[in-house]
Amino acid sequence: MSSWTPTLTALAHAGADRPPRPTTATAAVVGVPTARDLPALSQVRAEVEQVARLLPGSTVLAGTEVAQDAVEDALREHPIAHFACHAEADTRVASMLTGGLRLGGGRTLSPHMVGSYHLERAELAFLSACGSAATHPRLTDEPLHLAAAFQLAGFRGVVGTTWRTPDSARVAAAFYAGLTDGGTRPPDTAAAARVLAETVRAVRDEFPATPTRWAGHLHVGVNYPLVNGRACGSNPSLAAR
């Protein structure tokens, strides 16, 4: 799967030398099924439970309202972030800074807020929210969508969507199962682009005539090359082989 980046500077930052990847990786798992004036998301609860099961020890923030401070604290604590919620952009203005992830109670986590966090331990973010990697012709900051903001905050890789997908919970569960060999080992975050491609292909093979179910997912950030079938970024020793 191809990987995208908003700017070369963002890509260089995501791939820069930083503290070694943790031997165990937990996540900040955020699930908000409702938002003001938007329909409820029926799959959020199941998605949060599946992700938390595959990533034991994670912090789960779920409910009709989630505090922004709690989300920021969890993002700083965990190398992985997973959001299952609504996302939106206000296309009436020429900037993405007014949109964001809906946390309930009128709270929104905007690209501007996320991009200001500077997370040194961040590895992987999965934004299971409608249009988290979408842009609009009216936006002057066309490359600055939510997924790009998470990369700018420090995440080496970000999974986003360009539209609402009906199989979001299924895709997320299969993605993390692929990263962890079914929950038997810590997630190989460097293999995110490859595992996402495999997950999307599996859905495509089942629904070849319905691309809206599988074509909306994309990867933003560093796409590590394969060495002997593995992403060399997941193990520094592989890069020298």
Please state, in angstroms and as integers, the Cα–Cα distance from residue 78 to each residue in 69, 82, 145, following that order.
14, 10, 22
Using CA atoms, how far apart are residues 178 and 174, in angstroms rounded to an integer? Answer: 6
10 Å Cβ neighbour count for 52?
Answer: 20
The answer to whether 60 touches 106, Cβ cutoff 8 Å, is no
* % of the chain surpassing 70 pLDDT: 73
Domain that holds residue 84: 3-16+25-240
Q: In the chain, what percentage of residues exceed pLDDT 90?
A: 49
If you average pLDDT over each of 21-35, 87-101, 129-143, 147-161, which comes out highest?
147-161
Across residues 67-96, what is the average pLDDT?
84
Residue 234 confidence class, pLDDT cut points 50, 70, 90: very low
Q: What is the 8-class DSSP label of residue 99?
A: -
Q: Where are the beta strands (DSSP E) in 123-195?
A: 124-128, 157-161
Total of domains in the chain: 1
**Confidence (pLDDT) at 135:** 58
For the cut 80, the answer to whether the pLDDT of residue 119 exceeds it is yes
Question: Is the CB of residue 127 less than 8 Å from the CB of residue 83?
Answer: yes
* pLDDT tens digits along 138-187: 555 555 678 888 988 989 999 998 888 888 889 999 999 999 999 999 99
Confidence band, pLDDT 50/70/90 cuts, at residue 121: confident
DSSP H helices, 27-109, are 44-54, 68-77
Phi-psi region of 61 (alpha: psi -120 to 50; beta: other; left: phi over 0): beta
pLDDT tens-place string over residues 29-78? 999 999 888 899 999 999 999 999 999 999 999 999 999 999 999 999 99
Residue 221 sits at φ, ψ, to 5 deg, of 125, -150
Asked which of 11-15, 43-47, 88-92, 121-125 is least confident by mean pLDDT, the reply is: 11-15
Chain position carrying tokens 């206000």: 90
Instruction: Check whether 232 has a pLDDT greater than 50.
Output: no
Amino acid in the structure at residue 146 = L
Residues 54, 157, 96, 89: what is their CA dihedral angle, to the nearest 10 degrees? -30
pLDDT at res. 162: 85
Instruction: Kindly report the CATH number assigned to the domain that includes residue 94.
Output: 3.40.50.1460
- The answer to whether the beta carbons of residues 220 and 11 sit under 8 Å apart is no
Calpha distance 84→103 (Å, rounded): 10
